[in-house]
Amino acid sequence: MGEHEPDGGRKVAEAAKGASGTKSKKTASAGAEGAGSVKKTASAKKAAAPKKVAAAKKGTPAKKAPGKTAAAKKTTTGKTTPAKKTTSGKSTAGKSAAKKAAPISKAHPPKKVTIAPPKASVALRKAAPARTVAPEPPKGESRTALVRRARRINRELTEVYPYAHPELDFESPFQLLVATVLSAQTTDLRVNQTTPALFAKYPTPEDLAAANPEEVEEILRPTGFFRAKTKSVMGLSKALVEEFGGQVPGRLDDLVKLPGVGRKTAFVVLGNAFGHPGITVDTHFQRLVRRWRWTEETDPDKIEAAVGALFPKSDWTDLSHHVVWHGRRICHARKPACGACPVAPLCPAYGEGETDPEKAKKLLKYEKGGFPGQRLKPPQAYLDAGGKPAPPLGATG
């Protein structure tokens, strides 16, 4: 638009000069044209000469009456209406059509950008929880209801794992104590494959306390963190010899004083070597009790206290086995087999894993999936239930 204004001004000036030069020939029509270009009075509409004037008349109806007043205002600033009207009616119509079309073309994209994405994002946010999060238990579950649900889950697991036992091979409290310390940051299978050589060479606390650290490190290398573990097992062996006569104490307070022994290790030894009830809060136990909403605690000691209050003390050791076994075989950390879970109706987290029964069966491990267990020398009850012993270290096939 702005590019045409200078040319229009010159044409207006030339038109004015031409009008003044031909006053003698066309007095009446020139007077009308001059009056129309300067004052834009009503007489300009009645002038019958130039085609430009006629084009101006055709352009003005588009703007109607307001257009005329605007044209009059523009004549005072030097940007006269005739300057814009010198072009043909078609170009004027094209420009006016472009003006009208421009707002329409600009109006559509904002509608697509600002309206559609929010709807799509809302749909995604609503759909995601539906696929991965199961309905939560009724809000405000009473203490009594929680206790009943927790104990029912344990009863169901008792039927599923009647052969549950500690998955570390041991023949004495000392061997169980050492094996439990070595199980940190590794699997029970790897420990069971390593301890035969260790106990064959160092069968007693006295032997292990007097061992060459480098030789012990070489034996424990497959378990990982072998230097720190060597220090722990040799240190606790020395403490057993010096403070307890080479015997493993049967009290919690005494066990936790030994190097590398915490409450978890102590309860494993007390519950399985001495028959004293205890809750073993390992990584599997922590994960499952939170999924089941037995507690929201994250500290192992607080979890132990919260869960222990839900069950009779006599159930603590077997409860630990049931929960840990279920976590290792079915309720995995990353891909729980929800479709093959025997306690699915009681689980608030149902749906976090695979819910299709056939697909879920493929996620089962150890004897539930037809694979060998973790113990090289498992109890007979485990073998009778279809369990298979684990292969020794270095075995293939």
Show which residues are catalytic: 264, 282
Q: Both tokens of residue 251?
A: 């009290």
Taking CA atoms, 140 is separated from 136, 302, 327, 346, in Å, by 11, 21, 27, 16
Q: Both tokens of residue 326?
A: 């279920």
From the list 208, 283, 213, 300, the residue with the least C-alpha distance to 248 is 208
Contacts (Cβ under 8 Å, ≥6 apart) of 51: none
N residues, the chain: 397
| 12 alpha-carbon distance from chain centroid | 72
CB 120 within 8 A of CB 127: no
- Beta-carbon-side half-sphere exposure of residue 246 (alpha carbons within 13 Å): 8
Residue that has been written with the tokens 């809750």 in this structure: 279
Main-chain dihedrals φ then ψ at residue 124, nearest 5 degrees = -65, -45
DSSP string, 324-343: HHHHHHTS-SSS--GGG-TT
